[in-house]
A and B are shown apart, each in its own frame.
Chain A
Amino acid sequence: EVVLTQSPGTLSLSPGERATLSCRASQSVNSGQLAWYQQKPGQPPRLLIYAASTRAAGVPDRFSGSGSGTDFTLSISRLEPEDFAVYYCQDYDDSPYNFGQGTKLEIK
């Protein structure tokens, strides 16, 4: 079973800045089977990135994913006010399809 550790727990930045969120797996995630989701208060999550680096439909190109093996990164190039939310990574290579504990991106 893969355990995902996200860092930092909370990231305080200002609009216009660049955000870098990390997701580290306890063992290699085969074929980059890793996704990123965004969740805002009172809403279900929203798919941003899958296969480590493929943007989902409708996701702005300021969001990008990278990484392989055990280390993955979600980058947001220029933060917009609507980007402040909680972000989760998920391994979907094999059951159980675990999520990381989340990174809260807050306005500084």
Chain B
Amino acid sequence: EVRLLESGGGLVQPGGSLRLSCAASGFAFSRYAMTWVRQAPGKGLEWVSAISGSGGSTFYADSVKGRFTVSRDNSKNILYLQMNSLRAEDTAVFYCAKYLPEDSGSPRVVDYWGQGTLVTVSS
């Protein structure tokens, strides 16, 4: 059974930093690209970042480029999101999610989601 468990959310002041973690289990972690998607309270989904299975390729939304860094530790089956220079508008539930296989023909489709971790940026 695929499981994705996010942690590291909480309250942080504007300008501060936070690192989110996502512990993955139930699948061959290193073979799958992964992604972070966020959802501000009462709002829609916003794609944040993605990373290839090897970690060699990373992608970011313009809204977080230069402030957020996605990485992974394939030896520990953990996905990370380092968030710096946080702003009030970064307040959201952050979901860790797994993509379909690279050879599926649709390799950037999410088939499993974590339950999310809430990040609140406020003074």
Binding site for B on A (CB under 8 A): 33, 35, 37, 39, 44-47, 50-51, 54, 56, 86, 88, 90, 92, 95-102
Which chain A residues lie closer than 8 Å to B106 at the CB level? Answer: 33, 35, 50-51, 54, 92
A-B contact count (CB 8 A): 59
Q: Is the CB of B45 within 8 A of A45?
A: yes
Number of interface residues of B (CB under 8 A): 24
Q: Determine chain B's interface SS by DSSP, over half rule.
A: strand
Closest Cβ of chain A: how far from B57's Cβ, in Å? 10
Nearest 6 CB-CB pairs, A to B? Answer: A44-B113, A92-B108, A95-B59, A50-B109, A99-B45, A102-B44
Q: Is B115 an interface residue (CB 8 A)?
A: yes
Given A35-B106, A44-B116, A45-B110, A96-B44 contact (CB < 8 Å): no
